[in-house]
């Protein structure tokens, strides 16, 4: 047979095999033909194409390169080569070949379109668009060009222009199904869903069995959360083409997004039966398994995919990311390195590698890869916002916010960037600005669940609860069974003490996914906040059975145990959490160290506590966080008597601080915790200037830690009225403390009488209270005896004895109450909330806390009242309520008419007075469903009844009016509400000192307060402006 006849026969055989999909058979035929005619261009072209069809890309590329040697500018060869390169993800080489084609045929519309589309695939939008324009200049009505150009514009967020081109394409070919589909998808991305549905329906009327249309329509419905409507379209597409891999993949993705995993796995298996070595199926299946935490099985499929194509960068990246999620960081980083060796400038690999390095605490190296990715594609929005998030995690907030801004300049309506930016602003305490970006994101995608949840959570943390709840509700209307929404809503409600509303949401979430560890964890944590420990432990244990090595879960369980005093039990969980964290290079290690050390400290394991704190990487902490660590290390070294080492840490904290006085205060407090009366701490506090806003805090701390002699020297006064006040208050407060200890005794005896069993711990509590009572009486008698030996006119000496006794009783009772309180807490832990004695023990605990509060009041009054004036604007008095205007059942409405007025006075004392009035209103009206408090501020001159009619000239006053719509002050109480130790509160609910101290403070400022309420309480406060300020 002649060679030509033989080649013709081989050609026919090869074409028949290609039509039946037998590419391997066809490849064998082409090899025979090329033995006869090795340089035949057409045979080489067909051979290269069929190798590409069979996914044998390296062999295909080799064949096309051989053909190019034979005929370097053969258009057919170059066109086919470009297509195979595109399919084989060799975009750089594809663009090189297409560029040659454009030089050869500058006016070939097909070539121009192919080049432009390849540039788009390579994210070179700006370069691509001129080629589409040029193609339309040559053939203005070419529907393929119009559609391709429109799709490119749409992917570049130039929606308006894109939609115009789609309309133009449809005017030329109204029934072009491909154009209808592309137009519909572009409308979906522009949130024009209704018009998109009509185009999909039109396409299906023209071609009811068009699988591409059915798939596109179904996918569009899924993206709009219309799952039930989407399923029939997927099913119909599979009835028409049961073995269509694209349909199977799309259907699988939709099922996974709807948590229908079992059905999804069966479709993956079906796809693999059709093509066991299909790399895309293998790595897609692997990705899906990874997202469902089936890591072991997933990794096997990744390995199989890599055996088929060892150098496929997409597979390498996906495999690496799966390994990261399974905490196999070292192997993952090796795969990323391998991917970069193959394609050094692959942006997806670069930023995926960078994110993996961040997760592995290799921040510096990660940031370099982000920078490298941005050098290649400066305007890649995904890289920009990923880099920004990484900078946030590295506490580089300012730089991060700049990258978010840059990303939004490129894509102003990118919802992911908007809500990521908003979350970053929240973390940086820029709440107002953050909420604006959340609003903007919702205007673009009103039904985006992630944005709704993030916005709601941000509002909740900013105390805008009502608006937050409405957003959570809206989210649940869109996706009633969304686990993330249910958990976030429940957790937010629980954090706001709306437990009864939170529990059903947690339970509903567990009904949907009984083994969801995040739900179990959040539910358990919420239960501990209301002391439902038994239920919480059950949920923690259940979660740990599912994920026994979850560091976050282990550390939370440990922290919860430690918070209720079960430090010994907590230690083993802390140890295991750290072990898992260290093995996995988990970023939570610092978090675990920080919560582990207090448990060790409480158990007296100070050196171990030091070791845990020392492990924290302070380089990644903010200045404030680093200082906290330094202060705590200083305290721990004091505990082990290494005071010089402790002082080094305190000095380091002071040197590192922007607020020296605040750090002096914290350092002194930490030193006093283990070494009362320490001279170093006292010297720190004495450095705080009398004109400083922190002076009163320092003075109070000195009072609590001075020796008796130092204490009296500090509070002594020569003013007779203040001496009288001090004596009266001390004597009255002793009586008050004795009364409160009597209440403690009564409660404890009541528990004992009602109990049908002997409780040794309760008996010890009762005996301890009796001993405290006897000791207070003994010390009072000793004081009385000593005063009887002093002359009645030696008043200052009498006050010295009173102050010394007050100091002694305070220290003694405080120490004893701390022990009794600890015993009471242990007793409560042994009871369930349903136990008949639980409420009585809880009442005893509350009374203990009130008695301790009374002691603190005693020392505060002993200190006396000193005024520290500063200049400030009036509006600064109300900043607290401008931020948080809703407290418990009350709404606080401000009417500030003189906010910019400069005032010279003691800002902290005035704030304290207003805060006392708010607290009183909340306390007395707790049972009122809604309480409204109005606070008005204005400047007045010569107010009636405040300044005498005969005083010459004018006096300007700061007038503050406080009014609520609560119960008000009864007429029979109004005469004495400003007297010391007089209270309208229930027994045990108030000290009777708040309004007395307000009046004394204002008197020191030459100010005045009066109560004038009729319906509700109404207090008027007048404080004069100093003459030099007016």
Contact 969, 1011 (CB under 8 A): yes
Which parts of 445-528 fold into alpha helices (H)? 449-461, 465-478, 483-495, 499-512, 517-528
Please give the distance of CA 874 from its chain centroid, rounded to a whole number.
Answer: 34
- Over residues 575-595, the mean pLDDT reads 59
Return the bridge partners of 934, or none.
893, 963
**pLDDT exceeding 70 applies to what percent of the chain?**
83
Residue-wise pLDDT tens digits, 835-847: 766 777 777 777 7
pLDDT surpasses 70 at 290: yes
- 940, 939, 941: which is closest to 954 by C-alpha? 941
Q: Which of 556-570, 596-610, 754-768, 1015-1029 has the least mean pLDDT?
A: 754-768
pLDDT surpasses 80 at 738: no
Query: For position 718, what pLDDT does the model report?
Result: 43
User: Sign of torsion, CA 648 650 653 655?
Assistant: negative
In the chain, the N- to C-terminal Cα span, in Å, equals 119
* DSSP single-letter state for residue 675: S
**pLDDT exceeding 90 applies to what percent of the chain?**
3
pLDDT band at 1021 (very low <50, low <70, confident <90, very high): very high
* Whether the domain at 710-863 and the domain at 870-1024 fall into the same CATH topology: no
Q: How far apart are CA 866 and CA 1005, in angstroms?
A: 10
For 171, the token pair is 């005017």
Residue-wise pLDDT tens digits, 329-367: 888 888 888 888 888 888 888 888 888 887 777 878 888
pLDDT surpasses 50 at 260: yes
- Higher pLDDT: 63 or 14? It is 63
Query: For position 709, what pLDDT does the model report?
Result: 43
Q: How far apart are CA 902 and CA 898, in angstroms?
A: 9
pLDDT band at 1030 (very low <50, low <70, confident <90, very high): very low
Q: How far apart are CA 226 and CA 243, in angstroms?
A: 25
Query: For position 11, what pLDDT does the model report?
Result: 76
pLDDT band at 602 (very low <50, low <70, confident <90, very high): confident
- Higher pLDDT: 1007 or 624? It is 1007
Contacts for 608 with CB less than 8 Å, ≥ 6 apart: 600
Residue-wise pLDDT tens digits, 81-140: 888 888 887 888 888 888 898 889 888 888 888 888 888 777 787 888 888 888 888 888
pLDDT surpasses 60 at 908: yes
- 873, 910, 939, 924: which is closest to 1009 by C-alpha? 910
pLDDT surpasses 90 at 935: yes
Contact 520, 509 (CB under 8 A): no
Residue-wise pLDDT tens digits, 354-412: 888 877 778 788 888 888 888 888 888 888 878 888 887 777 778 888 888 888 888 88
Q: How far apart are CA 193 and CA 187, in angstroms?
A: 7
For 770, the token pair is 């009796």
Residue-wise pLDDT tens digits, 429-460: 787 888 888 888 888 888 888 888 888 888 88
Contact 403, 392 (CB under 8 A): no
Please report which helix (H) or strand (E) contains residue 138, including its range.
helix 125-138
Task: Give how far Cα 547 sits from Cα of 324, 509, 517, 544, 587, Å.
Answer: 17, 18, 7, 5, 18
| Phi, psi angles (nearest 5°) of residue 833 | -60, -20
- Over residues 166-192, the mean pLDDT reads 86
Task: Give how far Cα 902 sits from Cα of 878, 879, 1020, 1025, Å.
Answer: 14, 15, 20, 9
Query: For position 961, what pLDDT does the model report?
Result: 93
86 three-state secondary structure: helix
- 935, 936, 937: which is closest to 958 by C-alpha? 937
b/e map 150-180, b = 16+ CB within 10 Å: bbbbbbbbebeebbebbebbbeebeebbbbb
pLDDT surpasses 60 at 986: no
CB neighbour class for 260 (10 Å; exposed up to 12, middle 13-18, buried from 19) = middle
- 631, 708, 644, 654: which is closest to 676 by C-alpha? 708
Q: What is the 3-state secondary structure (H, E, C) of 328-393?
A: CHHHHHHHHHHHHHHCCCCHHHHHHHHHHHHHCCCHHHHHHHHHHHHHHCCCCHHHHHHHHHHHHH
Query: For position 964, what pLDDT does the model report?
Result: 92
- Over residues 456-467, the mean pLDDT reads 80
Contact 649, 634 (CB under 8 A): yes
Highest mean pLDDT among 2-16, 645-659, 785-799: 645-659
Query: For position 703, what pLDDT does the model report?
Result: 53
pLDDT band at 582 (very low <50, low <70, confident <90, very high): very low
Query: For position 707, what pLDDT does the model report?
Result: 47
- Beta strands 1008-1011 and 1018-1024 are antiparallel
**CA angle at 227 for the pair 223 and 233, rounded to the nearest 5°:** 95
Query: For position 730, what pLDDT does the model report?
Result: 55
Q: How far apart are CA 370 and CA 388, in angstroms?
A: 10
CATH number for region 870-1024: 3.30.565.10
- Over residues 264-289, the mean pLDDT reads 83
- Higher pLDDT: 299 or 866? It is 299
- Over residues 763-787, the mean pLDDT reads 80
Query: For position 990, what pLDDT does the model report?
Result: 44
Contacts for 423 with CB less than 8 Å, ≥ 6 apart: 434, 454, 458
Q: How far apart are CA 943 and CA 540, in angstroms?
A: 63
Residue carrying structure tokens 């340089």:
39
Contact 848, 827 (CB under 8 A): no
Return the bridge partners of 939, or none.
958
The fold adopted by the segment(s) 710-863 is 1.20.120
Question: CATH number for the 1-105 domain, one of 3.40.50.300, 1.10.357.10, 2.60.120.330, 1.25.40.10?
Answer: 1.25.40.10
User: For the chain, what's the residue count?
Assistant: 1030
Residue carrying structure tokens 């009054």:
861
- Beta strands 870-873 and 902-905 are antiparallel
* DSSP single-letter state for residue 939: E
Q: How far apart are CA 807 and CA 707, in angstroms?
A: 9
Residue-wise pLDDT tens digits, 504-550: 888 988 888 888 888 888 888 888 877 787 888 888 888 888 888 77
Query: For position 769, what pLDDT does the model report?
Result: 79
- 512, 547, 540: which is closest to 526 by C-alpha? 540
Contact 351, 383 (CB under 8 A): yes
Q: Where are the domains of the chain?
A: 1-105, 631-705, 710-863, 870-1024
- 567, 563, 472, 486: which is closest to 520 by C-alpha? 486
pLDDT surpasses 90 at 937: yes
Query: For position 938, what pLDDT does the model report?
Result: 92
Q: How far apart are CA 363 and CA 56, in angstroms?
A: 39
């Amino acid at each position: 047979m002649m060679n030509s006849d033989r080649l013709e026969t081989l050609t026919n055989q090869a074409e028949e095999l290609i039509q039946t999909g037998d590419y391997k058979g066809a490849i064998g035929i082409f090899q025979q033909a090329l033995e006869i005619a090795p340089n035949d261009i057409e045979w080489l072209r067909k051979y290269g194409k069929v190798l590409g069809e069979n996914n044998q890309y390296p062999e295909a590329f080799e064949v096309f390169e051989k053909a190019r040697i034979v005929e370097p500018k053969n258009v057919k060869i170059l066109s086919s080569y470009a297509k195979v390169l595109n399919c084989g993800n060799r975009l750089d080489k594809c663009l090189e070949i297409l560029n040659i084609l454009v030089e050869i045929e500058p006016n070939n519309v097909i070539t121009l379109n192919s080049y432009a589309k390849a540039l788009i695939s390579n994210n070179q939008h700006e370069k691509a668009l001129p080629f589409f324009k040029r193609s339309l200049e040559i053939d203005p009505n070419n529907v393929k060009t119009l559609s391709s150009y429109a799709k490119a514009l749409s992917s570049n967020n130039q929606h308006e222009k894109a939609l115009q081109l789609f309309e133009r394409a449809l005017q030329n070919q109204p029934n072009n199904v491909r154009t209808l589909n592309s137009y519909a998808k572009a409308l979906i991305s522009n949130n024009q869903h209704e018009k998109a549905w009509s185009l999909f329906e039109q396409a299906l009327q023209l071609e009811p069995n068009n699988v591409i249309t059915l798939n596109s329509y179904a996918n569009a419905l899924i993206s709009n959360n219309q799952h039930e409507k989407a399923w029939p379209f997927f099913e119909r597409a599979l009835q028409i083409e049961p073995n269509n891999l694209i349909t199977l993949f799309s259907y699988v993705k939709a099922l996974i997004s709807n948590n229908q995993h079992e059905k999804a796995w069966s479709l993956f298996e079906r796809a693999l039966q059709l093509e066991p070595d299909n790399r895309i199926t293998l790595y897609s299946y692997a990705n899906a398994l990874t997202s469902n935490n089936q890591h072991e099985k997933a990794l096997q499929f990744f390995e199989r995919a890599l055996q088929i194509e060892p150098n496929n960068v997409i597979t390498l990246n996906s495999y690496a990311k799966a390994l990261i999620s399974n905490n196999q960081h070292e192997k993952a980083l090796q795969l990323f390195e391998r991917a970069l060796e193959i394609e050094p400038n692959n942006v997806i690999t670069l930023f995926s590698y960078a994110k993996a390095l961040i997760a592995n605490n290799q921040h510096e190296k990660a940031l370099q890869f982000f920078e490298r990715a941005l050098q290649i594609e400066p305007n890649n929005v995904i890289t920009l916002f990923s880099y920004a998030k990484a900078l946030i995690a590295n506490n580089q907030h300012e730089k991060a916010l700049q990258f978010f801004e840059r990303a939004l300049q490129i894509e102003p309506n990118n919802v992911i960037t908007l809500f990521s930016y908003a979350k970053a602003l929240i973390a940086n305490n820029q709440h107002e600005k953050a909420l604006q970006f959340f609003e903007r994101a919702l205007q673009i995608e009103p039904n985006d669940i992630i944005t709704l949840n993030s916005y709601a959570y941000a509002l909740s943390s900013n105390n805008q609860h009502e608006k937050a709840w409405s957003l959570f509700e809206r989210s649940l209307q869109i996706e009633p069974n969304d686990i993330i929404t249910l958990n976030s809503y429940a957790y937010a409600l629980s954090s706001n003490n709306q437990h009864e509303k939170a529990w059903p949401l947690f339970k509903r979430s567990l009904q949907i996914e009984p083994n969801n560890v995040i739900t179990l964890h959040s539910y358990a944590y919420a239960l501990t906040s209301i002391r439902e420990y038994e239920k919480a432990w059950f949920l923690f244990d259940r979660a740990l059975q599912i994920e026994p090595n979850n560091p976050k879960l282990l550390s939370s369980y440990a922290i919860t145990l430690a918070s209720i005093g079960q430090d010994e039990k907590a230690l083993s969980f802390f140890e295991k959490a750290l072990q898992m964290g260290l093995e996995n290079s988990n970023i939570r290690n610092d978090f675990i160290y920080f919560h582990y050390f207090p448990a060790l400290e409480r158990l007296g394991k100070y050196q171990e506590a030091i070791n845990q704190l020392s492990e924290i990487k302070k380089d990644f902490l903010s200045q404030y966080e680093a200082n906290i660590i330094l202060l705590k290390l200083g305290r721990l070294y004091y505990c082990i008597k290494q005071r010089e080492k402790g002082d080094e840490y305190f000095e380091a904290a002071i040197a590192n601080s922007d607020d020296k006085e605040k750090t002096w205060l914290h350092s002194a407090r930490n030193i006093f915790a283990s070494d009362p009366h320490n001279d170093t701490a006292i010297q720190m506090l004495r450095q705080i200037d009398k004109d400083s806003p922190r002076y009163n805090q320092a003075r109070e701390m000195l009072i609590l830690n001075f020796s008796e002699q130092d204490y009296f020297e500090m509070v002594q006064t020569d003013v007779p009225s203040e001496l009288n006040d001090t004596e009266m208050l001390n004597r009255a407060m002793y009586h008050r403390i004795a009364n409160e200890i009597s209440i403690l005794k009564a409660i404890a005896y009541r528990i004992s009488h009602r109990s049908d069993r002997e409780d040794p711990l309760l008996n010890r509590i009762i005996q301890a209270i009796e001993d405290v009572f006897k000791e207070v009486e003994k010390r009072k008698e000793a004081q009385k005896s000593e005063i009887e030996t002093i002359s009645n006119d030696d008043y200052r000496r009498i006050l010295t004895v009173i102050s010394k006794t007050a100091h002694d009783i305070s220290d003694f009772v405080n120490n004893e109450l701390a022990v009794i309180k600890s015993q009471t807490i242990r007793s409560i832990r042994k009871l369930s909330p349903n136990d008949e004695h639980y409420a009585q023990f809880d009442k005893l605990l509350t009374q203990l806390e009130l008695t301790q509060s009374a002691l603190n009041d005693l020392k505060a009054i002993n200190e006396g009242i000193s005024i520290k004036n500063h200049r400030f604007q009036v509006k600064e008095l109300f900043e607290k309520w401008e931020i948080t205007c809703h407290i418990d059942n009350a709404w606080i409405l401000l009417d500030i008419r003189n906010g910019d007025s400069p005032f010279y006075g003691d800002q902290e004392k005035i704030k304290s007075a207003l805060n006392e009035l708010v607290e009183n209103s909340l306390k007395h009206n707790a049972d009122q469903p809604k309480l409204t408090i109005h606070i008005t501020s204005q400047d007045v001159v010569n107010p009636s009844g405040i300044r005498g009619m005969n005083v010459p000239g004018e006096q300007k006053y700061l007038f503050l009016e406080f009014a609520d719509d609560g119960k008000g002050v009864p007429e029979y109480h109004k005469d004495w509400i400003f007297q010391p130790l007089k209270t309208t509160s229930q027994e045990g609910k108030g000290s009777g000192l708040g309004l007395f101290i307000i009046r004394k403070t204002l008197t020191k400022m030459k100010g005045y307060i009066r109560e004038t309420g009729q319906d509700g309480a109404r207090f008027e406060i007048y404080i004069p402006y100093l003459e030099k300020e007016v």
